[in-house]
Structure 1
Amino acid sequence: MVSIKITEGEADFDVPSAGKKCKTWYRIYGDIESGVRPLIALHGGPGVGHNYLESLADLTGKYSIPVIIYDQLGTANSTHLREKHGDTSFWTVELFLKELDNLLQHLGIDSSYNLYGNSWGGMLGAEHAVLQPRGLHRLIIADSPASMVTWVEEANRLRKQLPQDVQEALQEHEDNGTTESKEYEAAVEVFYAKHVCRIDPMPKEVLDTFENIKVDPTVYHTMNGPSEFFVIGSLKSWDITDRLKNIQAPTLLINGYYDEATDSVSEPYFREVPHIKWFTFAESSHMPHWEERDRFMEVVSGFLEY
């Protein structure tokens, strides 16, 4: 792999209701002025941060594709707003759409770019794409639901396959409102090891991402909830299915065989988006960009280059 140019910076993001100045932290792998269309990556959560997407730098090192990762507002290196915990009128899809537009404009790439979103990032990417932005060339939706109702149904189906003692621990703490306990966290991690990232031990970058939520759970708890299957936040009824027909950009849909984003979760994208291909990684769960890293880069680079 060749040496990669890395640039980091912050984009001012004007959010009047925040009550203070906000900034979006970003990192660029490669040169966005090289003539090769850049890929901007949207992390999941909401609120988990950029760390687990650092493997996407392989697209730059091996295929000369500039890649931009960033921390969404409230997360990791970007401005934190812990005082907005629980404020569903502040933490909205629209807020993060505005942040993405602001970053694209700040970087001067709003006229031609590719977009990749993992999990919540794919949801955000789809929301961006249905607006038919003029600069969007290709869209990649990875490991993402089109409906949170279906997501929760499938997550709970997978949960019933966990060991009985794990299921009982999850239920007990959810019933008692003690989802911040170590016991609940340990039970959730059993699910994660099967359906989020199956690498043992998990890469440091993935662990760093989980740590971001522990440090500041504001966004994740407000919009999602305490876990992947106990969704009580503002996204619990989110559904984009009936708007997917408005996506004009050629789209690549990705999931893993063991993914919490099961085929039932992913299928509405394949059914409704007009120009779409679907690739399932046979040995992966929610993070094929780690679990089948080389193959993932081949698939994504091939899609972006066609």
Structure 2
Amino acid sequence: MAPAPSARGTVAFGPYRTWYRVTGDLQSARPTVVLVHGGPGSTHDYLLSLAALAEHGWPVVHYDQLGNGGSTHLPQAGADFWTVELFLGELDNLLHSLGVADNFVLLGQSWGGMLSAAYAARQPEGLRGLVVANSPASYPLWTEELAVLRAQLPPGVNETLLANEAAGTTDSPEYLEAMNVFYDRHVFRLPEKPTELTASMMEIANDPTVYFTMNGPSEFHVVGTLRDWSVVDLLPRIQVPTLLLSGRHDEVTVGAVQPYYDLIPDVRWEIFEESSHGPHLEEPALFMKVLVEYLRSLD
């Protein structure tokens, strides 16, 4: 169970509100670890176990990105509203509103890893470190890698997926059943889903505006506005020590992660052999050990 928060609330982001949760003391000499969740269109819930970093001495901030969870929902907003720049601006606003912009570490998971890398490439003065977890460096590259994983599914599964994608029936029961075959292999491999993961999945289902607009109907059918987005050209600009984390069975394959390792000047990479897309939930003890060792190295 995650430790109790020391503060919760919202900060103004233009006419909107961003929900946040603090664990630990933001006045600590150690940098605050700011957790940037995936999706886009998910919530902080599935990363809640990482609040335990506060018990090791690092204050932690979770937040829900605009459009989901406790933050302002905008179900009528069009595709031109939901942009990378919007979420970069929201992150910057949160850091300054909470007073941690002069001493922080970003930990971005999945889409949050790409967003965090793009923010780090701007070389903010207070950034001390970057953790990119289970994140592709390029959507076009990731799409190529996903095609390989899909082709390796049991006979008939990818054919069902392709047929429904072509017909526009990705909400059909047969598509959802076939989709779960992929998810059980490459998104979360354990037989029981933790409550915090279920909570985030339910939040996406409750308001899929952002997810459907920017990503698409599933993790592996990326047809939204992010389909051509890449941070590859930005990676050489990242100047802080960077930790890459991924799962051996991850939907974000080694090939999709490789540009981070090739192009960030100061980087190390840890692959969790028994995990897919959520090693912080699939191998939590090892994940926390690796993360704490990295954070101590920044001291």
Q: TM-score range by the shorter chain?
A: over 0.9
1:210 aligns with 2:201: yes
Identity percentage over the alignment?
48
Larger deviation: 90-99 or 238-247? 238-247
Aligned residue number for residue 42 of structure 1: 36
Larger deviation: 137-146 or 5-14? 5-14
Aligned residue number for residue 237 of structure 2: 246
Aligned residue number for residue 6 of structure 2: 6
CA contact (8 A) 1:115 1:140 kept: yes
In the alignment, the residues of structure 1 paired with residue 34 and residue 265 of structure 2 have an alpha-carbon distance, to the nearest angstrom, of 22
Q: Between Structure 1 and Structure 2, how many residues are aligned?
A: 297
CA contact (8 A) 2:41 2:208 kept: yes
State the shift of 1:186 in Å.
Answer: 2.3
Aligned residue number for residue 64 of structure 1: 57
In the alignment, the residues of structure 1 paired with residue 218 and residue 147 of structure 2 have an alpha-carbon distance, to the nearest angstrom, of 11
CA contact (8 A) 1:155 1:228 kept: no
Name the SS for the 2:190 alignment partner: coil
In the alignment, the residues of structure 2 paired with residue 217 and residue 181 of structure 1 have an alpha-carbon distance, to the nearest angstrom, of 16
- Aligned counterpart in structure 2 of residue 285 of structure 1, from 276, 284, 287: 276
Kindly report the root-mean-square deviation, in angstroms, between the aligned alpha carbons of the 2 structures: 1.4
Aligned residue number for residue 17 of structure 1: none
In the alignment, the residues of structure 2 paired with residue 95 and residue 78 of structure 1 have an alpha-carbon distance, to the nearest angstrom, of 14
Kindly report which structure 2 residues correspond to 1:220-259, keeping only aligned pairs within 5 A, or say none: 220-259=211-250
* TM-score, structure 1 as length reference: 0.94
In the alignment, the residues of structure 2 paired with residue 274 and residue 49 of structure 1 have an alpha-carbon distance, to the nearest angstrom, of 31
* TM-score, structure 2 as length reference: 0.96
CA contact (8 A) 1:151 1:261 kept: yes
In the alignment, the residues of structure 2 paired with residue 182 and residue 213 of structure 1 have an alpha-carbon distance, to the nearest angstrom, of 18
CA contact (8 A) 2:3 2:52 kept: no
Aligned residue number for residue 52 of structure 1: 46
Kindly report which structure 2 residues correspond to 1:146-157, keeping only aligned pairs within 5 A, or say none: 146-157=137-148
Kindly report which structure 2 residues correspond to 1:269-284, keeping only aligned pairs within 5 A, or say none: 269-284=260-275
1:33 aligns with 2:33: no
Q: 1:3 to 1:196 in 2, by over 3 A?
A: closer
Q: 1:127 to 1:158 in 2, by over 3 A?
A: same
Q: State the AA in 1 paired with 2:74.
A: L
1:174 aligns with 2:165: yes
CA contact (8 A) 1:73 1:80 kept: yes
Larger deviation: 186-195 or 272-281? 186-195
Q: 1:205 to 1:4 in 2, by over 3 A?
A: closer
In the alignment, the residues of structure 2 paired with residue 254 and residue 300 of structure 1 have an alpha-carbon distance, to the nearest angstrom, of 9
1:260 aligns with 2:251: yes
For structure 2, which runs of at least 5 residues remain unmatched after alignment? none
CA contact (8 A) 2:2 2:51 kept: no
CA contact (8 A) 1:256 1:283 kept: yes
